[in-house]
Structure 1
Amino acid sequence: MIDTDELAERNAGFAGGGSFAGLRLMPSGGLTVVGCVDPRVDPSDVLGLRLGEAAVIRNVGGRVTPATLRTLRMLSEVLRARAGGPRPGDVHYAVLHHTDCGITDLAAFPELLADYFEVPAADLDAKAVADPVAAVRVDVDMLGQGLPAGVFVSGLVYDVATGLIDVVVPPARVAA
């Protein structure tokens, strides 16, 4: 088990490197990634992101839920308060799902999934829980309905066996 002493030691090494100095609240890459909590799928590592390049939101399955949309609205307001907000063309939201995701094991618990997605259990099939490619398309569509016009949205699936991503939905601007 990694304990707090080891975490403090690791943090001292990080702090000594100074890579955090001068970073700003707005991701330098204008990227926000919605990904899964699975420890095999750390978006920063999988996508080769450096500290400060992207904001990362992680949840079970990397799904775009009503809670995810609320979080994105809150982050948008923080950016507006700090910097007047980003220009829409400078913002890219990427949904990152993966193969062999544990969310598929929750199919046996439809009430739990229905609560998570904030939908009736009868509507769960539309969420494509068992198919990461279809799920990415569902979530990119949901993001497109919940984000301002002009931002970019894309969808990726990471293969845990090969380490490679597949661009399922190339970046496209959200229409007005």
Structure 2
Amino acid sequence: MNFHDDMLERNASFSTTGFKPDLKMMPSTGTIVVGCVDPRVDPANVLGLKLGEAAVIRNVGGRVNNALLETLAVLSVVGAAAGRPGGPRNLVLLQHTDCGIIGCYRHAPAVLAKYLDVESAALDDMAITEPHKAILLDIATLKTRLELPDGLMLSGLVYDVKTGLVETVAAPAPLRTLAD
């Protein structure tokens, strides 16, 4: 059996054991998780998310870039059109140790710079090799984005691929406070 057939078989099992036809389009926790595409770091598994609890956006490095900001803008419109209920909305950034983005940084910096929407010279300031610092930089970037809703709660986590544990780097806090 090839992997394609294996996936179809798994889906058939899911359709009878895990499928929930009454799930709402909007996440039940009001949460969006941004994580890396690395197959070792699936946010649903790492964070124990249940189907329907959170929307998960994955990109290379789990980093903030223009494509992510555009996705968040579209999701905001989708949510409004779907009659999103009130209440807290959370944006969780999840990055991890031993990220493959480091190899791109070292071997193809121009490719990475284009992906992150910066000049190659700016990559050194983006903490590519330091996920704890990268989380804080990405949160600082998000705080400058006026198109994001003021009531959004931001947090940042780093997953250690050697231990399986997640560390809070930035505790949940409002995107903007009255002092901002």
Aligned residue number for residue 13 of structure 2: 13
Q: Report the AA paired with residue 153 of structure 2.
A: F
Give the Cα separation in 1 of the matches to 2:103 and 2:5: 34
- How many angstroms does 1:4 deviate by? 2.1
1:49 paired with 2:49, answer yes
Q: What SS does structure 2 have at the residue aligned with 1:138?
A: helix
**Judging changes above 3 Å, is the alpha-carbon distance between structure 1 residues 103 and 19 closer, same or farther for their aligned structure 2 residues?**
same
Give the Cα separation in 2 of the matches to 1:105 and 1:170: 29
Q: How do 1:109-120 and structure 2 match up within 5 A?
A: 109-120=108-119
Q: What SS does structure 2 have at the residue aligned with 1:71?
A: helix
Q: Report the AA paired with residue 34 of structure 1.
A: V
- How many angstroms does 1:112 deviate by? 0.7
Give the Cα separation in 2 of the matches to 1:37 and 1:78: 23
- How many angstroms does 1:14 deviate by? 0.3
1:136 paired with 2:135, answer yes
**Judging changes above 3 Å, is the alpha-carbon distance between structure 1 residues 164 and 18 closer, same or farther for their aligned structure 2 residues?**
closer
- Cα pair 1:106 1:113 within 8 Å, conserved: yes
**Judging changes above 3 Å, is the alpha-carbon distance between structure 1 residues 2 and 33 closer, same or farther for their aligned structure 2 residues?**
farther
- How many angstroms does 1:138 deviate by? 1.0
Give the Cα separation in 1 of the matches to 2:48 and 2:15: 20
Q: What SS does structure 2 have at the residue aligned with 1:157?
A: strand
**Judging changes above 3 Å, is the alpha-carbon distance between structure 1 residues 44 and 91 closer, same or farther for their aligned structure 2 residues?**
same
Number of aligned residue pairs: 174
Give the Cα separation in 2 of the matches to 1:86 and 1:78: 12
Aligned residue number for residue 95 of structure 2: 97
**Judging changes above 3 Å, is the alpha-carbon distance between structure 1 residues 131 and 18 closer, same or farther for their aligned structure 2 residues?**
closer
- Cα pair 1:144 1:153 within 8 Å, conserved: no
- Cα pair 1:98 1:157 within 8 Å, conserved: yes
TM-score, normalised on structure 1? Answer: 0.93
Percent identity of paired positions between Structure 1 and Structure 2: 51
Q: What SS does structure 2 have at the residue aligned with 1:77?
A: helix
Q: Which runs of 5+ in 1 are unaligned?
A: none
**Judging changes above 3 Å, is the alpha-carbon distance between structure 1 residues 10 and 135 closer, same or farther for their aligned structure 2 residues?**
same
**Judging changes above 3 Å, is the alpha-carbon distance between structure 1 residues 155 and 24 closer, same or farther for their aligned structure 2 residues?**
same
Instruction: Please provide the CA RMSD for this pair.
Output: 1.5
1:121 paired with 2:120, answer yes
**Judging changes above 3 Å, is the alpha-carbon distance between structure 1 residues 175 and 101 closer, same or farther for their aligned structure 2 residues?**
same
